[in-house]
Amino acid sequence: MVSVPAHSGGGRRTPTRLPESVLRGFPGAPGIAIGPAFVFAAKTPHVPARTIANKKIENEKKRFAEALAITRQELSVLKERAGDMIGDNLARIFDAQILILSDPEIDSTVREEIEKKKSAAECAFDRVVQGTLTKLSASPDAYLRGMRQEIEAVHARVINHLLGLPTMGLGDLAEPSILVATSLTPSDVVGLKKENVLGIVSEIGGQTSHTTLLAKSLRIPAVVGVANAVSKIPLGARIVVDGHSGSVTIAPDAETLEVYDRKQREAIVPWPKKLAALRDLPAETVDGHSVELLANIDMAAEAEDVLAAGAGGVGLYRTEYLFLRQGRYPTEHEQYKTYLEAAQVLAPRPLTIRTFDLGGDKYFDDGRSAVEQNPALGWRAIRVSLQKKAPFKAQLRALLRAAAGTNIRVMFPMIVSVEEVSEALLLLDEACREVCARGDEVGEVQVGLMIETPAAVWLAEPLAKMVDFFSVGTNDLIQYTMAVDRGNPRVAHLFQQFHPAIIHSIAHALECAHRNETRFAVCGEIASEPLALPLLIGMGVDQLSAHPTVVPRLKAVVRELSFAEAKKLARKVLHAETVTDVDNLLAEFYRDHFGQRWR
């Protein structure tokens, strides 16, 4: 696929005035970006039908081989450039495109098309790839559908070489703008001048896509999976990218702009003068109720950001990104070094390590050919770990070793039964004995589990007797409780974090936890919302964990909040019967106690 800027192919200039509107997607990379939209449309190169004479067959095969070789060399150069920008581990994502070029099935099928159908090399390659793309589009597997992006990028490069066309890039992005595109490949992102990319909006991509990983590494705010962004966002329109909530605001009005200007300033300088005095103070309400306020991270290097934000540690370290960055399970030693690095930076603050949450939208290659019809309800998270015991125990050994002299907690994802927790604890004990048998030192770790399914909610009583803490992942809890795929525009409006069913689910699990002296945390998106903070604290949540850039605002809210008043709010909300009732109660409470501060 060849990308061309929308303004060079019939792009639309912004009307004089536009009404404010909001598009929804998924949080790609955290941060706030405000600026003009650079709309980048996608154009598939036209491949004219052409047949060849018998005597040209070998020449066409040679042309095809040369195009593959040139493309492979280009991608290797881009990978090397990416290594300089973002490190060698993350640069390995270019291996996906390089591997496509080495696919023996594609190579043999193209050569067969050339030989038997007398097709020109570009026609044969185009026909084979288009057939592959059609199959991927129909796949129920989110990862396989996402592979379209990588294959289209390779397809465009090879076809351009075969047709003698230049490979288009994003060189037209000559001034600071927010890049809006149908899709972005890793080579697109690495080819950008970082100083000119304020933010990224893409129609295609998920929270674990390669574009998302690159944007996070480069610290470019991004929102992905925004349906029809290219057609709905006018060229040059002022837009706001909220990489925390996954929203894109077109033509923000003065009030909205003021809110996001403040959030952006606070993200750049987390502790402006009016908050500087709070940084090292505890997250404590005006009437003396303490809350543990922690941060979520994806990479060990972000531990420094946690300290800068004044957080009390890490409440969620998403370790699956170690796998996704390398395309394989990291070794025990690699993990040990990574966990130790983060834990030592944070010590004595806690580092809560969630074991690999692979599967679902976080695809990994285990050598299986079967495609799951519904990956979100399939083989993922703890289900994978309990079946693939060797890499799971390697991870457990690594974190036990890193816990020596530090404060590491371990947390198991997507629990639905007591048996799963029993088996995970048994494997943790085995890992501990294996490390000790080698003569290595181990540290004591607190053990927790994620409350992400209705099954975990209604088994909270026996589960609380087995672990030290619960942590609610609200995104999955909403998905499974409400039976809604928020990536589906027809039902996305049902993805409601303040639905009474969600509030009551949290309340039930929390009650069971406290009855068994088990600490209770919330680490999902709801914990990042200042509007929700009084409710969660009033319900009795012990710990909240959000992105580091959000922590300063949350701490400011906590320190101005009355716990007694928050409990009154929680009682009212727990009697509400509709989402509208809950929304109104939260908005009224926040307005009366904080006005527009900290939002």
Question: Among 397, 401, 399, 378, which residue's Cα sits nearest to residue 389?
Answer: 397
Tracing tokens 């420094």 back to the chain, one arrives at: 304
Identified catalytic residue from 123, 432, 512, 523: 523
Reported residue count of the chain is 599
From residue 30, alpha-carbon distances to 246, 267, 448, 476 in Å are: 9, 10, 26, 19
| CA dist., res. 110 & res. 104, Å (int) | 10
523 catalytically annotated: yes
Q: Which residues of 188-214 are buried (b: 16+ CB within 10 A; e: fewer)?
A: bbbbbeeeebbbbbbbbbbbbbbbbbb
Q: Report the half-sphere exposure of 522 (CA within 13 A, side-chain side).
A: 28
- Reference 518, options 420, 446, 416, 571; nearest CA is 446
Q: Which two tokens stand for residue 595?
A: 């006005």
Give the tokens for residue 440.
């290595």
* Of the candidates 213, 151, 155, 143, the residue with the CA atom closest to the CA atom of residue 368: 143
Residues with Cβ < 8 Å from 299, sequence gap 6 or more?
A: 216, 217, 321
Marked catalytic residue, from 210, 244, 289, 547: 210
Q: What are phi and psi of 322, to 5 degrees?
A: -65, -40
Calculate ∠ Cα 312-316-317, nearest 5°: 110
Give CA separation, 296 vs 444, 514, 586, in Å.
22, 23, 24
Is residue 504 among the annotated active site residues?
Answer: no
Mind telling me the catalytic residues? 210, 523
